[in-house]
Chains A and B, each alone.
Chain A
Amino acid sequence: MEENKELDNFIRKSIKEVGLEKPSLDFNDLVLSQLQKSTEKNTIFEHKPLLSKPVWFGIITTVIVIFAYALLGNPEIENIWFSISKLNQLTSFNLSGSVPNVEIPHTFVYGFLIFTFFVVLQVYMVKQRIDKRYDLR
């Protein structure tokens, strides 16, 4: 027991004599710059809704008021600019008759498909590249 106590005192004295390891002189600056970087990153990528809550509230209220007025208020609106007879014309409209018959060559179709494929591929690759550039981790 006595031996333990002696060893305890000896080790305590020795450890205190050696002291702690010292990190680099600019340690604080490096930590603070990393913190700044991480807070900047947070502000850059902070999600901001396109429409804020008050705007949403306003839109919803307006829509409800309009519908309520239309359904319950029983407004008498005389529709002078859009009569039923004009609506009937729409149903009898023949699209195929009014578009000229155009033959699309096969080479054009293949070319167009390949072109579309490469455009989509390029969009994907450019996105990857940009993501990598702005990835601050």
Chain B
Amino acid sequence: MSQQDQHYIDQVINGDTKAFSVLVDRYKHMVYTLAIKILKNKEEAEEVSQDVFVKAYRALQTFKGDSKFSTWLYKIAYYRSLDELKKQKRSLNTSSIDGEKEYHLPSIESGLDQLEINERKQTIKNAIDALPEDDAVVITLHYFEELSLKEIAEVMNLEANTVKVRLFRSRKRLAVILQDKLEPEILGNYGRK
């Protein structure tokens, strides 16, 4: 993947703007998702994502290939989104969810299984959206993009160990939120038994 990226990066540097379109196509969903997780607003996320690609295009000469192109791009997306928050005088939400609250995974799973596919997807999506911004970013990068702890640490400018702890907590928080959202289904399930 990285080698393929380099091929298009070289083409863009040699003046072929259209080759950049391939890179945009490849990463726009992830960049947009990261922006939405932080900004929690579709229009703003769209604008910021476009800006991320424009910035990346201009700075492409400085991309040395030490890291993956995707990691480099996600770092731009993460910091551009934080800038946008700052511009609006908003700040990252720290967790308001009790990380110590217990959850019961089989109940959550069976609760989700009760739902229709679309409803299930929406419930999970709502739960991720309810996470604090940084937690949602860590979860998305790790579970969707399968980035290693080291790569996530690079994107967010953190220590790998800090990412590990954050990932552990985010996972637990997500389970607790899901459990709260699924409470009626879980209770209904128990009721039938």
Residues of B within 8 A of A31 (CB): 20-21, 24, 50, 53-54
Secondary structure call for the A interface: helix
* Interface flag for B30 (CB, 8 Å): yes
Shortest Cβ gap from B92 to chain A (Å): 19
* Interface flag for B189 (CB, 8 Å): no
* Interface flag for A108 (CB, 8 Å): no
**Pairwise interchain contact B29-A22, C-beta atoms closer than 8 A:** yes
* Interface flag for B150 (CB, 8 Å): no
**Pairwise interchain contact A18-B29, C-beta atoms closer than 8 A:** no
**Pairwise interchain contact B121-A17, C-beta atoms closer than 8 A:** yes
* Interface flag for A6 (CB, 8 Å): yes
CA distance A17 to B121 in the complex (A): 7
Closest B residue to A38 by beta carbon equals B54
Chain B interface size range: 35 or more
* Known A7-B105, A18-B121, A35-B20; contact A24-B46, beta-carbon cutoff 8 A: yes
* Known A7-B175, A22-B29, A32-B17; contact A17-B120, beta-carbon cutoff 8 A: yes
Shortest Cβ gap from B106 to chain A (Å): 9
List residues of A (36-91) whose CB comes within 8 Å of B's CBs: 36, 38-39
CA distance A20 to B45 in the complex (A): 13
CA distance A60 to B190 in the complex (A): 95
B1-9, B67-75, B138-146, B155-163: which lies at the interface: B138-146
CA distance A23 to B18 in the complex (A): 19
**Pairwise interchain contact A35-B17, C-beta atoms closer than 8 A:** yes
* Interface flag for A27 (CB, 8 Å): yes
**Pairwise interchain contact A10-B125, C-beta atoms closer than 8 A:** no
**Pairwise interchain contact A35-B28, C-beta atoms closer than 8 A:** no
**Pairwise interchain contact A6-B105, C-beta atoms closer than 8 A:** yes
Residues of A within 8 A of B24 (CB): 27-28, 31-32
Binding site for A on B (CB under 8 A): 17-18, 20-21, 24-25, 28-30, 32-33, 36, 45-46, 49-50, 53-54, 57-58, 105, 108-109, 112, 120-121, 124-125, 128, 139-140, 143-144, 168, 171-172, 174-175, 178
6 tightest A-B CB contacts, nearest first: A15-B143, A20-B29, A23-B32, A21-B33, A20-B33, A31-B53
Q: Beyond the given A11-B174, A15-B140, A18-B121, could you list 6 further A-B residue pairs with CB under 8 A, ordered by the A residue number? A: A7-B171, A16-B144, A17-B124, A31-B21, A31-B53, A31-B54
